[in-house]
Amino acid sequence: MKFVFLSGGFAGFITAGAASYYAGHQADRVLFDAAVGCLAGSMLFRWFWTILVRGIRETILARQAAAVPAAAKSK
- Each residue's pLDDT, cut to its tens digit, for the chain (75 residues) gives 789 999 999 999 999 999 999 999 999 999 999 999 999 999 999 999 999 999 999 999 999 888 877 666 766
Distances, alpha carbon 64 to alpha carbons 2, 18, 50, 69, 74, in Å:
29, 46, 21, 9, 16
Q: Give the domain extent around 62.
A: 2-74
Distances, alpha carbon 67 to alpha carbons 5, 11, 61, in Å:
35, 40, 10
Q: What is the CA radius of gyration of the chain?
A: 21
pLDDT at 66: 84
Helix H or strand E encompassing 30: helix 27-74
Domain count, the chain: 1
In whole angstroms, what separates CA 34 from the centre of its chain? 18
